[in-house]
Amino acid sequence: MSVFTGIFKCYKKSKERIGILNIPKITSINNALKIYYENAEIGNKEIKHLFSVRSSATVSRLKKLVKAEMIKNDIPTFCANKVNTVTAFAVWGIDVTDLERRKIKIKELNL
């Protein structure tokens, strides 16, 4: 095997891993619920506020995952640089009903 072929295979393997990304932790339950219920589509500003990330590359990767799912499910977008909020939360593994339950529990415990 030549050196060029080995480099190409590594590049090809890394291209297949585009869908693998560590999803950052949300900043707060209230913040996540506010973003979810206020916006039909979210962009860079909302994503940075949701996860408290500064890197535009991370935001871009997060949006790329959601856009792939939107294309797969034929979900239209109204703005080219935004993604559907419901799809985004589903792709990122943020369970809204669980967040609502936790928010109620926090109020009951007066935390």
Q: Which structural domain range is residue 28 located in? A: 3-108
| Structure-token match 């792709």, residue found | 91
pLDDT score recorded for residue 16: 40
Q: pLDDT, tens digit, for every residue of 13-38?
A: 434 444 556 889 999 999 999 999 99
Instruction: Say how many domains are in the chain.
Output: 1
Residue 102 pLDDT class (50, 70, 90 cuts): very high
By C-alpha distance, which of 31, 29, 19, 25 is closest to 91? 19
